[in-house]
Amino acid sequence: MADDARDLNAPTGEGEVEVILRGGAVDRPADVTPYEPLIEAKTGLGELLAPVAGFGVTFASLFRPTVTEQYPYEKVPTKPRFHGRHQLNRYADGLEKCIGCELCAWACPADAIYVEGADNTEDARYSPGERYAAVYQINYLRCIFCGLCIEACPTRSLTMTNEYELADDSRQDLIFTKTQLLSDLLPGMEQPPHPMRLGEKDTDYYVGAGGTGGSDR
Ligand code: SF4
C-alpha cells in the first residue's frame, strides 16, 4: 500500500473517535445523541390531514375579497407621504427657491443629483438670494427615493411628489433636468428671471413669501 493511502480498517488511536467507511455505512461514536424532532409528531386525525393541511390557506383565500389592482387602467392613490418624483419649488412671485448650494447632491448616497450654481445679477434674477442653480439634474436610474436630499435642502426648494410612473426605455430620458423638475407657475407667479416682487429687502421678501405661500404648499 502506498504511504499516502489510508487503511480504513486500521484503528485511529486510543480515545479518538473512530469513523470507518464500509460501503457507505458509517459507524457513529456511541456518545452522539440521536436526532430528536422539536415538533411533536401528529397522531390520529391530525396525522391523516397533515399532507393536505397546507391547502387550507389556499382554500380559505378563495372566499376572501380580491386585492388585484387594475393598474394602469385604475390608479390607486398613494399614501400622502409616498416618496415619488422630486419637485423644485418656487416662491409666490415665481422665483426659484433653489440657491444652488449642492447640499442635496452631497447628501445623496447614490450620487444621483448634479448641481451647478451660478450668480444672480440684477438683470437676470432667478432666485431671491445671491446664487441659483444654473444646472440641476436628477438621475432616476440611480435615485433610491430615500429622501435624504429633502432633509438636506435649507430652503425647502426640493420636495417629493407622489408621482411614481417613472419607467422609460431610454436611459437618457431618465436624467431629469431642471426644466422638468421645476414646479408649474401657479396663478400670480411670473417666469424668472425677474426682480424680487415680494419685498424690497431680503427680510421683507422672505416674511412676505412665507405668508403668501409657494409652490410646495
Ligand atoms: S435643491 Fe436645496 S439643497 Fe439642492 S442645491 Fe437647491 S437649495 Fe441646495
* pLDDT for the residue numbered 11: 52
C-alpha of residue 79 to centroid of ligand 1, in Å: 25
pLDDT band at 31 (very low <50, low <70, confident <90, very high): confident
pLDDT digits (tens, 9 = 90+) for 120-173: 998 999 999 899 999 999 999 999 999 999 999 999 999 999 999 999 999 999
pTM: 0.70
- Tell me: pLDDT of 1 over 60: no
Contact, 89 vs 216, CB < 8 A? yes
pLDDT at site 203 = 80
What count of residues does the chain have?
217
Residues 6+ apart with CB under 8 A from 72: 165
Whole-angstrom Cα distance, residue 69 to residue 76?
Answer: 8
Q: Which domains does the chain possess?
A: 86-209 (3.30.70.3270)
**pLDDT for the residue numbered 9:** 54
For a pocket test of ligand 1, which of 158, 160, 176 has the largest count of ligand atoms closer than 8 A to its C-beta? 158
Mind listing the pLDDT tens digit for each residue in 102-115?
999 999 999 999 99
Pick the atom of ligand 1 nearest to 88's CA: 1
